[in-house]
């Protein structure tokens, strides 16, 4: 078995993860350069985020707008121009303007009311982040995301109402279940709709996700350490 990544420094872990990503890509006959390693910095101490930045990492994901503002609009604002910031957590409509200003990509579009709020915000700023639709791939009651069978109608309505064409789909498979059938399902849904980007896979299953077509893997604890 491979080494326990927790014994390594953040820079070493980054190299190890990139290596594993490349092996998984090779297994699937895919170009490793086409797969993005999104470092999930939520709830991490600044020293860990600084170490990641020092190691050269420039793609980060956050799940809360307020926390992301404190980190990337204040503490690490000097890096902001030169990096990619992605929202991977649920977005409330009253935070849409902050989110449109801060994020390059919003991965969690999941309802028309939010689409309307994002369009309104984007009318103010003159910019619009790239959008992914979050799919509730396991059909879980408590989880956000569009139900898989509601996705075709949702995509159609986004286009007709707001001329929005999402670039990707994102999912978080149910805990305690094998992830691969869900990854396969998300990849199939994307393919059915001509959508080319897939955000799926986290610390425990990013290699599997890459083998099943992920273009973006969201890795927190395996890179930056266990969250407090």
- Provide the token pair at 76: 């690490």
Per-residue string for binding with ligand PLP, 139-178, x by CB under 6 A? ---------------------------------x------
User: 86: alpha, beta or left, given left = phi > 0 and alpha = psi -120 to 50?
Assistant: beta
**Min separation Cβ 218 and ligand PLP, Å:** 4
180 binds ligand PLP (CB under 6 A): no
131 binds ligand PLP (CB under 6 A): no
Per-residue string for binding with ligand PLP, 69-98, x by CB under 6 A? -------------------xx---------
| Distance (Å) of CA 21 to CA 98, 106, 150 | 33, 23, 32
Per CB under 6 A, the segment of 9-17, 149-157, 175-183, 220-228 that binds ligand PLP is 220-228
Nearer to ligand PLP, 13 or 211 (CB): 13
Spatial separation of the C-alpha atoms in residues 183 and 216, rounded to whole Å: 12
| Other Cβ atoms closer than 10 A to 183 | 24
Nearer to ligand PLP, 145 or 148 (CB): 145
218 binds ligand PLP (CB under 6 A): yes
Q: Give Cβ neighbours of residue 195 (< 8 Å, ≥ 6 apart).
A: 166, 167, 168, 169, 189
């Amino acid at each position: 078995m491979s080494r326990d990544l927790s014994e390594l420094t953040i820079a070493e872990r980054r190299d190890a993860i990139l290596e594993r990503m490349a092996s998984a890509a090779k297994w699937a006959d895919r170009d490793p350069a086409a797969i993005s390693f999104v470092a999930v910095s939520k709830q991490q101490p600044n020293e860990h985020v600084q170490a990641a930045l020092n190691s050269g990492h420039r793609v980060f994901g956050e799940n809360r707008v307020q926390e992301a503002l404190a980190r990337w609009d204040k503490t690490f604002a000097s890096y902001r121009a030169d990096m990619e910031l992605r929202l991977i957590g649920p977005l409330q409509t009253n935070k849409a303007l902050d989110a449109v200003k801060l994020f390059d990509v919003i991965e969690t579009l999941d309802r028309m009311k939010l689409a309307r709020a994002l369009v309104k915000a984007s009318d103010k700023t003159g910019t619009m982040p790239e959008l992914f639709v979050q799919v509730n791939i396991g059909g879980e009651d408590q989880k956000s995301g569009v139900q898989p069978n509601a996705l075709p109608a949702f995509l159609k309505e986004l286009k007709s109402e707001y001329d929005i064409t999402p670039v990707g789909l994102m999912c978080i498979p149910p805990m305690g279940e094998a992830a691969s059938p869900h990854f396969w399902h998300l990849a199939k849904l994307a393919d059915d709709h001509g959508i080319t980007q897939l955000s799926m896979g986290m610390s425990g299953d990013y290699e599997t996700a890459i083998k099943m077509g992920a273009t973006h893997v969201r890795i927190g604890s395996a890179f930056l350490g266990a969250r407090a």
